[in-house]
Structure 1
Amino acid sequence: MEKKKNILVFIFSIYVCFMSYYLYTNHYYNTDMEAYMGLIYKTEYPEMKIEEIHQKVYDELREKAPDFAGFASVNPTVKEVAEGESTYYKIISQNPKAYEEELQLFVVKPFYNFMSWSLFKLGFSASASISLVSIISYALILILIFSFLIKILKNYPLAFILTVLISLFKPLSESARHVSADSLSCLLLLLSFYVFLVRRNLFIAGILAMLCVLTRPEYFIFYTFLYAFISLYRNRLQINTVPLVLSYGYLFLSFFSVQAFNQVSWSTLFMNQFTKVQIYPVSQPDPFSFADYFHFIKSNIMLEFNSSYFPLLLIFIVIILANRFTFRNKKNQAQLLFFAIIYTTVMLRFLVFPSLVNRMMLGFYLIIILALIYIQISKVDIFKNSLEDGK
């Protein structure tokens, strides 16, 4: 029996390596890449002038991705999502001052930038470093999911099959191919859940939650609700109030420390991303328009929600929870509240940043999927001291 498990783990390892290599060799050169590369060079060479950084970034991109946005001529017949978007990337590729201000839109993800810089220090190129963060995160997500499923299902073949199917989930593979903080933030989110549920270590889980917020600050909304949820069930989870409050305090400080160094206000970011692209968002931001904000929210909320996986997952949530469901059952109440927290978080996030791009929603998707697997076929109880106690 043990030999069969080892063989399955070996096959899984080969599969993870194959998928990671395939996705790395087919990754996207998306438009965030030039900003993250610039931040790597600014960190490594603090005395280097922005003109030199700009030159280094675009020379590297021109060599590796000749079709990168900003190199080709602007197509006047293409409808732009935000006014001036195509023109913007052309200007950025030619104007070091505008490029310098664009970097300020990306400094709000310090831990992601730190990981990219760390790989650069190991000898990888700037473009390869930020791509590797996504690929390594993808591989670790699969390993973590496999480990978690083994813990709750006590069935290696089933855990293997489910993990392979999840690995083919489009938002997961897309996030691995993109240069973005999505994969890393998802990994940290899942790790914080795993450490809390399996190891029952609130301190380490809190540190991972902090790193997740330092990778994508909007996860602060989700963690705030989660800490309230844990506080509500702290007696059953055997969590003391003082460590819980201290853990949330550190999380709170991490979020507001990012905001303290953020030179671009939320209103400017919204206008820049969804209304009219601003060449100088720091020195010359356009005034915020509530009329434009409400118009965008009203015209896009249903389109964004329906193009996401949230309606489909909601159907499965209803089907699974409906099985022997009763409001009097405390376990059912906890499950219902947990999913309500996720959907409330998503809607609040949409009000702040009105986009539900699937790769950005990856962490929420995987939490829902894994929670549904747990509810439907788990052989352990998370309200015990740890998953290790399950029978």
Structure 2
Amino acid sequence: MKKRKNLLLFIFSIYVCIMSYYLYTHQYYNTDMEAYMGLIYKTEYPDMKIEEIHQKVYSELKEKNPDFAGLGPVDPMVEEVAKGESTYYKFLSENPKAYGEELQLFAVKPFYNFINWSFFKLGFEASAATFLISIISYALILVLIFCFLIRILKNYTLATIITILLSLFKPILESSRHASPDSLSCVLLLLSFYAFLIRKNFFFATIFAVLCILTRPEYFIFYSFVYILLYFYRNKRQLSKKILFLSYGYLLASFLLIQYFNQISWSVLFMNQFTQVQLYPVSHPDLFQFSDYLQFVKRNIMLEFNASYFPLLLIILVIILANNFSLRDKEKQAQYLFFVIIYGSVFLRFLIFPSLVNRMMIGFYLLIILSMIYIQNSKEDIFKNSLEHGK
């Protein structure tokens, strides 16, 4: 039995290494990369003028990928979501002032930017530093999924098979090929739940939750609802009110800290992504029209949700829960409410930022999938202070 476990661990390790190498050699140069590269240079060389940063970034991108958006001719057939989107990156590549203001749109993810800068300090080029964390995060996501499944299923063979299948899940692969905080925030989200549910260490769970918010601030919505749920079920988890409020205070402080230094208002961010591109979002933002916001939300809410995996996962979830569904069973109420919180958080996030790009949703997808596996294979309440599993 021990030899079999070691063999499966060896196979899994080799698989993760092969997939990581493949992703490293097949990276996608997405349009956010130039902003994250600029923030690296701005951090490393605080006295460098924006014109020089602009030149360094686009010179490196042109060398690495001559077809990068903005460096080549504008494709007139590209469909625009926001007005002016097709010429936006071309304009940025030619205008250092507008490029400098665009950096503020991405400065609200301080921990992700810190990791990028750290890789740059280790000797990697700025372009490589921005996507290297996505590849490493991909590997860590697979390791965490594997660890979760081992504890839930207590079957190395099944855990290996399911992890490999999830590794091919399109949103996970997409996020690993983009220079974006999606994969890193997913790792931190899973780590916070792993520390809380498996290791029963609320201190580290809080730290990972804070870092998750510092990577993607919108996760503050989800964690806020989770803490409300924990408050009502604190006795099962043996958590005192003082510890809960202190922990949530750190999450709130991290979110407010980001907002304090944020120079871009929500209205400007919304317009830039969905209505009309803001060439100078800091110095000359356009006037926000609430009617445009309502029109966009009404036009896209059904399309976005249908294009995501949330409806499909909800169908599977209902099938699993329907077997022993009972609102009167207090031990199962927390599980039901946990899924309500996930879907409620996603819906509220959509109202603030009306987009459900699948690579941005991988944290929620994996929480739903792993929770469903837990419920299907364990008699224990997910919020009970115990992880003794058994069918």
Equivalent residues in 2 for 1:311-326, closer than 5 Å: 311-326=311-326
Unaligned runs of 5+ in 1: none
Residue 302 (structure 1) aligns with: 302
Match of 1:339 in 2: 339
Cα distance in structure 2, aligned partners of 1:140 and 1:318 = 30
CA distance in 2, matches of 1:53, 1:65: 18
Inter-partner Cα distance in structure 1 for 2:93 and 2:249: 41
Write the distance in 1 (CA, Å) between the matches of 2:384 and 2:276.
Answer: 52
Deviations 1:153-185 (A, max 9, x none): 111101111111110100001100011000000
C-alpha distance in 2 between matches for 1:230 and 1:118:
35
Task: Report the count of equivalent residues.
Answer: 390
Q: How does 1:102-121 map to 2 (within 5 A)?
A: 102-121=102-121
Equivalent pair of 2:331/2:381 in contact (CA under 8 Å): no
| Structure 2 unmatched ranges of 5 or more | none
Answer whether contact 2:98 2:280 (CA < 8 A) is retained.
yes
Q: In the alignment, what sits opposite 2:353?
A: 353
1:23 corresponds to: 23
State the partner residue of 1:83.
83
Give the whole-Å Cα distance in 1 for the aligned partners of 2:35 and 2:159: 39
Whether the aligned pair in 1 keeps the contact of 2:335 and 2:381 (CA below 8 Å) is no
Distance in structure 2 (CA, Å) of the matches to 1:28 and 1:216: 21
Contact 1:384/1:390 (<8 A) preserved = no
The alignment's TM-score, normalised by the length of structure 2, stands at 0.98
The 5 A counterparts of 1:1-391 are: 1-378=1-378, 381-387=381-387, 389-390=388-389
Counterpart residue type for residue 158 of structure 1: L
Aligned partner letter, 1:118: S
| AA partner of residue 72 (structure 2) | A
Q: How far 1:379 moved relative to its partner?
A: 6.4
Match of 2:358, SS? Answer: coil
Deviation at 1:390, TM superposition (A): 4.3
Q: How many Å apart are 1:386 and its aligned residue?
A: 4.2
Q: 1:380 to 1:20 in 2, by over 3 A?
A: farther
Q: Answer yes or no: is the 8 Å Cα contact 1:182–1:360 preserved in 2.
A: yes
What secondary structure is seen at the aligned counterpart in 2 of 1:237?
A: coil
In the superposition, the TM-score normalised over structure 1's length comes to 0.98
Shift of 1:380: 5.3
Distance of aligned partners of 1:302 and 1:384 in 2 relative to their CA distance in 1, 3 Å threshold: closer
In 2, Cα distance between equivalents of 1:133 and 1:349: 25
- Going from structure 1 to structure 2, the CA distance change for 1:77 and 1:381 (only over 3 Å counts) comes to closer
Cα offset, 1:381, TM superposition: 5.0
Partners of 1:308 and 1:358 within 8 A in 2:
yes
What is the deviation of 1:23? 1.3
Per the TM alignment, residue 288 of structure 1 is displaced from its structure 2 partner at its CA by 0.6
Aligned residue identity for 2:214: L
Q: Give the 3-state SS of the residue equivalent to 1:321 in structure 2.
A: helix
